[in-house]
Chain A
Amino acid sequence: MAIEANGKTFETDEEGYLTNLAEWEPAVAEAMAAEDDLPLTDEHWEILNFLREYYEEYQIAPAVRVLTKAVGKKLGKDKGNSKYLYALFPYGPGKQACRFAGLPKPTGCI
């Protein structure tokens, strides 16, 4: 599988996650979101950037409950809850947001 963004082709695995995480650029997130009919707002980007920082620090994509807790700590309780995160990413803040952010599928995601 592959996805087109910014005039380039990016290889993805069978679930749509980037094969080479280092290739990620914001246009990839935009293209993936467009495929899911989900226009990205600043609120989405806040979470995507948070996930990229988390991955940079810990080298893993966090499970949803860990993400929720960590978002709450960093961005405030009104955002660190599953209602807020699922409203932004209806296919799951773990799976969908990690895919957009160029992370692997979350560890501990079952």
Chain B
Amino acid sequence: MSEQIKKFMYVNRRAPYGTIYAWESLEVVLIGAAFDQDVSLAFMDDGVYQLVKGQDTAEVEMKNFSPTYQALGDYDVTKLYVEKESLEERGLTLEDLMPLTYEDEDDDWAEKDSIKLVSRAELADIMDEQDVFFSF
């Protein structure tokens, strides 16, 4: 099989509940992780709410899937770009987000942060390098 690693980016712009987009995106990411591509996730606009810690869905009667983001590291999905401006516009900081980590195989399994805070301009540059986008 000819293998060419492509850069896949999943762009998340919507709040976690109310629509099925955020959960569907996460499921596609986990399924797609089996294909050994260079995967990253971007969180912008209301999508940043997907990573907020302390989510409680009892009132909206939807499954609280936020713990599943913790599993991304096990699936070798280790690049979660969060747009700084989107956070700030919503009065949020990095401290409001779940701490997400992965163990770096190439660095003696050191635990590292998966979330990378980037400016709108930096995210635009990162997007420029991608081969494939999935927009949710």
List A residues at the B interface (Cβ < 8 Å): 57-60, 62-63, 65-66, 69-70, 107-108, 110
Chain A residue contacts of B30, Cβ below 8 A: 60, 63, 107-108
Q: How far is B66's CA from A57's CA once the two chains are assembled, in angstroms? A: 10
Q: Mark B70-101, 1 if CB is under 8 A from A, else 0.
A: 11001100000000000000000000000000
Q: How far is B68's CA from A58's CA once the two chains are assembled, in angstroms? A: 5
Q: Mind listing 10 A-B residue pairs with CB under 8 Å?
A: A58-B67, A59-B65, A59-B67, A60-B68, A62-B71, A63-B30, A66-B71, A66-B74, A108-B31, A110-B34
Q: How far is B33's CA from A107's CA once the two chains are assembled, in angstroms? A: 10
Q: Say whether B130 faces chain A, with CB atoms less than 8 Å apart.
A: no
Q: How far is B27's CA from A65's CA once the two chains are assembled, in angstroms? A: 16
For chain B, the bracket of interface size reads 10 to 19
Q: Sort A-B residue pairs by CB-CB distance and give the 8 closest, nearest first.
A: A58-B71, A107-B30, A108-B30, A108-B31, A66-B74, A59-B67, A59-B68, A60-B68
> B27 to A107, Cβ gap below 8 A?
yes
Given A108-B33, A110-B31, are A59 and B63 neighbors across the interface (CB < 8 Å)?
yes
Nearest CB of chain A from residue B101's CB, rounded to whole Å: 14
